[in-house]
Amino acid sequence: MSHTIPSSADAPIGVFDSGVGGLSVLRHIHAQLPHEHLLYFADSAYAPYGAKTDEWLVQRALDVAAFLIRHGAKALVVACNTATVAAIKAVRTAYPALPVVGVEPGLKPGAAATRNGTVGVLATASTLRGEKFLALREQISGATGTRFLLQPCGGLVERIEQGDLSGEATAAMLDGFVTPLLEQGADTLVLGCTHYPFVREAIAKLVAARGDGAAITLIDTGDAVARQLARLLEGAGLLRPGGTPAHLRGYTSGNAAALQTAFAALLGLHPQVESVQV
């Protein structure tokens, strides 16, 4: 099966996630590559991805990738940890000429940041049981001696999708996930899902209330994703030069107004958003 990939530097970058979490990655891309046109797809009708099978995730990632490429994407960012673990290999196989960047769960920066060798990893259950993730954990643990404490955060993505970033229910949920990691000695917490940077302040508040504030490092990998994307585009000669303004468009399999609200509330941006069937 042959695919025609746009090769114009003026073409947009396609970014997708199960919902609004990938906006935490889009924020870094928008800041580092302000001249680039961006397409964002939120698969909100099927969120969260954390409970889906790998087979379903692979097919869904291929469907969404095809949609973004039909809309001219010159590169793809899989801005979802769960989809990256399950499906990025399939996306790269389907589109070998396309620059494709996934999100890593932050184990390497976590190991580099810890001072006492204990790192807590907050992620979805499917990310934490993924073969790629477990192999990476073994590799980094073996090389550095770092102890990784894995904490699945069931229900947290849904709360963030609903826009509840700092309410009592979200704070209580975070307490249940974070406190056991701190009690086991973690001095570094990896935000291993692209949704979680949006509750970073709530986590910091929880940590500070325990008196651990100054001692805990929080790892968000969105910045590294944007840097890798910039490197790939530069290497392919696809960086868009400045001059004319860059545009941003949003698409969702769910409610367009909800995504528009999320863009405004989380990023202060107001793109045109369209609800589509993919």
- Positions annotated as catalytic residues are 80, 193
d(CA 181, CA 23): 26
Helices (H), the chain: 23-32, 54-70, 81-94, 107-113, 125-129, 131-144, 156-161, 168-183, 200-209, 222-235, 256-262
Give me the residues paired with residue 54 across strands.
none
Q: What Cα–Cα distance (Å) separates residue 19 from each residue in 52, 207, 214, 256, 273?
A: 14, 27, 32, 11, 13
- Which tokens hold the place of 25? 């990655």
Q: Is the separation of the CB atoms in 105 and 136 below 8 Å? A: yes
Nearest CA-CA partner of 83 in 71, 68, 204: 68
Helix, strand or coil, per DSSP, at residue 117: coil
d(CA 212, CA 204): 9
